[in-house]
Chains A and B, each alone.
Chain A
Amino acid sequence: AQSVTQPDIHITVSEGASLELRCNYSYGATPYLFWYVQSPGQGLQLLLKYFSGDTLVQGIKGFEAEFKRSQSSFNLRKPSVHWSDAAEYFCAVGGYGNKLVFGAGTILRVKS
């Protein structure tokens, strides 16, 4: 069965510092992998996705993620965090049929 683990429930970083959010997945085939961000009162917004090809994918708002098959990971990174990045981030794995399995989410807090 598909599953996604986000080990960190909360992460706090200083503005301007680098960020890495961890995501591990379990899936029997080549997965489609996603990172979504949810700001309070808003719907989830797609940050980036991995389907195939280059394992380092670029997304919106300066985010990137690297797919590592050997580690079953798809960690999200940003070199310099802005206060507006404070939100909840969800990693998800999906397969055919648009069904997504989400991780529990990581709440990012940004210190000024």
Chain B
Amino acid sequence: GAVVSQHPSWVICKSGTSVKIECRSLDFQATTMFWYRQFPKQSLMLMATSNEGSKATYEQGVEKDKFLINHASLTLSTLTVTSAHPEDSSFYICSAPRRLAPNTGELFFGEGSRLTVL
């Protein structure tokens, strides 16, 4: 079964509103989680690294004020898309490292959350 879960799996919102996406590690603690954005027919783009107890690390070109990331606990990271616009519509995926294989790139992925901004 899934070991990383995202919620909601899909959301439709009006332009200008904010949307929060949750990522939970279900049976392990994750001090680090990663947020990706996937465009249609394109690869997953790493947006940011979520760190429990400290600020997230954003990749170049990702707006920190637009995509707020909070790693509230060892099992929960949230991504809030603030003042969403249609161009923010995308598939957002979170991941967490396999607990037995830190720093090797082996990740568990959530099911993804599809955001549609009208």
Contacts and interface: CB of A to CB of B under 8 A. Distances in A.
Interface of A: 4, 9, 32, 34, 36, 41-46, 49, 51, 90, 92, 94-105
A43 B104 contact: no
Interface string B28-70: 0000101010000111111001000000000000000000000
A51 B44 contact: no
Contacts, number: 69
B103 A97 contact: yes
Given A34-B105, A43-B2, A98 B41 contact: no
B21 interface: no
A99 B46 contact: yes
26 contacts: A9-B41, A32-B104, A34-B105, A34-B106, A36-B109, A43-B4, A43-B112, A44-B95, A44-B107, A44-B109, A46-B107, A49-B105, A51-B104, A98-B104, A98-B107, A99-B34, A100-B34, A100-B46, A100-B107, A101-B43, A101-B46, A102-B43, A103-B43, A104-B42, A104-B43, A105-B43
Interface residues of B, number: 28
A9 to B, nearest CB: 7
B105 A99 contact: yes
Contact of B106 (A4, A49, A90): A49
